[in-house]
Amino acid sequence: MLDIKYIRDNLDLVARKMTERRADIDFAGFSILDQKRRDILKEVEGLRSERNNVSKEIGRRKKTKEDAQELIDQMGSVSSRIKKLEDELKGVEAELNDLIMVIPNMPHASVPAGAGSEDNPVIRTWGEKPSFNFSPRPHWEIGEALNILDFSRAAKIAGARFAVYRGAGARLERALINFMLDLHTEVHGYTEVLTPYMVNRQAMTGTGQLPKFEEDLFKVAGTDYFLIPTAEVPVTNLHNSEILDERDLPLYYVSYSACFRAEAGSYGKDTRGLIRQHQFNKVEMVKFCKPESSYDELESLTFNAEEVLQRLGIAYRTVTLCTGDLGFSSAKTYDVEAWMPGQGDYREISSCSNFEDFQARRAGIRFRRESTGKVEHLHTLNGSGLAVGRTVVAVLENYQQEDGSVKIPEVLIPYMNGVDRIASIK
RNA sequence: GGAGAGAUGGCUGAGUGGCUGAAAGCGAUCGCCUGCUAAGCGAUUGUACGACCCAAAAGUUGUACCGGGGGUUCGAAUCCCCCUCUCUCCGCCA
C-alpha cells in the first residue's frame, strides 16, 4: 500500500498516476475519510488524556483516603463518550483501510505510459531463433507424440488446465528445476528456501493478492488457507513484521514451488498445452534490499532470469511493462519473453518486478539504518527464474527435430542422467 | 482428538488493578580508562498514529501498544470471555 501521508500530501500526482494505470480510485472519498479520522482521533485522544490524568488523581486520593466519588462519576461519562468515539473511529479506519488496500502502487518515473501489452517497449533481444526445414510443431503435439505429456488423462483425474508428465518429460521438468536452483544458489548467490504451498490471509494481503484478487486464488474449503499462486507470497512474507539489520541486506532467496491459479477470466486463452495451467512449477527469486539500491537490484535480478535462457540457448526478448500493463503491487516490471517456434511468438517466461516499499508497508518489513538509527521500510523485488512449465515448452519447441525427437540442451544433460535426446521408443 | 503449561522490549526474564513503556541481566552503540586484548566505569539503547512548530530535518507534546479480539473498571501487562500460536504428555499418523 501507499503511505497515507504520501497520498494526503500528493493527492493530485497520485490521482494522475492512477488514471495512467487505469485504476478507478475514489480520492474525494479518501480525503473526507482521512480528515474525519484525524478529527475523531484528536477528540478521543484529548479525552483519553483527561481520563488518564483524573484516574491518576483518583488513585492518589484513594491512597490517602480522600473522597474521589465525584471524580469517578465525572469520568463515567467521559469514558462512555470515549467508547462512542472509538467505535466511530474504528468504522472510519476500516473504510479508509478498505480504500487504501485497493490502491495499486505508483509506477516508477521510468515506466512508459501505455494502455496495454502492445505498448510495452522491447529493451533488448538475445539469441538466434532456430530455423527449421520443416514446419515446427507446438509442444503439445511434440509431447503427446513422444508420450511425455498427457493432457487427456490429466483431464480425467483433475480437469482442464492440468497436465501429466511422464517418463523423460517428468525428468525434464525436474532437471530444469534443479538446473535453475543450482544456477541461482551457486552462481548468483541466492539462498534456497522451501516453503508451505498454502498460506493464510495475512500473507496473501502482505504481497497484494488480497483483498482485491481473491477470485484468482484457490481457497482450501473449510479452512482459511489459500493455495499460493507463486512462491513470492510465502518467501516475501518470511520477514513480515520484522525489523532487519542493515548489515544483513540485501537478502536473496530462491524457492521452487508449485503454483496454483484459478485463471478466472482467461477462458478460451491458451487452452491447449502447458502455457496456462491451474497448477505449474516455478523457481522464484526474491530480494529484500535498501531503497537506494532497488533499481540496480532489479537489473541484476532480470539478468539472473535471462541467464537461464542464455545457458539453455533459447532466444528471448525483454520488455518493460507500460503503465497500463503493470501489476497491482509493482512499481516497475520487466517481462522476459522466450521465443516459442511452435507458437510463432515470444511468450512470457519470467516477470521481474520492483515493488519498492509497497509490499514492505503492507507486510511490515523494515530495517534499521545504522547511520540514523531509524527504521525504514525496505524494498522487495521478485522474478521468475523461470516458470518451469513454460521452459519445458521452450525446450521442446526450440529443440525439436524433424524426426519428432527433441534434443536436450547441453547444460541439462547431466541433470537428465546423461540423456541427450528424447525420442519415442516405437 | 484428549489433558496440561505458556506467549512481556534485539534476547533472557520480573511484574496479579493505579507511582510500569515496562525492574534486572545480556547484547549493541558512544564515551572514559587502558602497551594490545580482556576487565572496569559512565551514558544511550522503543514502534505507530496525531497535534504544535516547520521549506525540510530536528524539536515539543498527546495517545496507543506487554500474542490477537472483546468485556469488567474512574483506571488493565495484571481480572473475565473468545481466538491464534508455541511447548509437554497420551492417542493417531506419512
Asked if A416 and A168 touch (Cβ cutoff 8 Å), the reply is yes
**pLDDT (tens digit per residue) in A206-218:** 999 999 999 999 9
User: Does residue A426 have a pLDDT over 70?
Assistant: no
ipTM: 0.87
CA A89 → C1' B91, Å? 48
Structure confidence at residue A38 (pLDDT): 93
Which cell goes with A7? Answer: 497520498
How far is it, in rounded angstroms, from Cα A244 to Cα A251? 10
Residues A351, A356, A361, A384: which is the catalytic one?
Answer: A351
Mark whether A261 is an active-site residue.
yes
Sequence-distant (≥ 6) Cβ neighbours of residue A373 within 8 angstroms: none
CA A17 → C1' B47, Å? 31
Q: How many angstroms separate the first and last alpha carbons of chain A?
A: 57
Class of domain A4-100 (CATH, top level): mainly alpha
Topology given in CATH for the domain delimited by A117-422: BirA Bifunctional Protein; domain 2 (3.30.930)
The amino acid at A78: V
Structure confidence at residue A67 (pLDDT): 85
Asked if A385 and A300 touch (Cβ cutoff 8 Å), the reply is no
CA A154 → C1' B35, Å? 78
Mark whether A390 is an active-site residue.
yes
Domain positions in chain A? 4-100, 117-422
How far is it, in rounded angstroms, from Cα A266 to Cα A293? 36
Which bases of strand B sit closer than 7 A to a protein CB?
Answer: 10, 18-19, 46-51, 58, 62-64, 70, 73-75
**pLDDT (tens digit per residue) in A344-368:** 999 999 999 999 999 999 998 988 8
Strand-pair category, A242-245 with A365-368:
parallel
The amino acid at A392: V
Strand partners, A255: A284
Which cell goes with A421? Answer: 535426446
Structure confidence at residue A425 (pLDDT): 66
Structure confidence at residue A195 (pLDDT): 92
**pLDDT (tens digit per residue) in A57-88:** 998 888 888 888 889 998 988 999 999 999 99
Strand-pair category, A375-377 with A365-368:
antiparallel
Structure confidence at residue A46 (pLDDT): 92
Interface residues for strand B (CB within 7 Å) are: A 3-5, 38, 41-42, 45-46, 48-49, 51-56, 58-59, 62-63, 72, 75-76, 79, 90, 243, 366, 368, 373-375
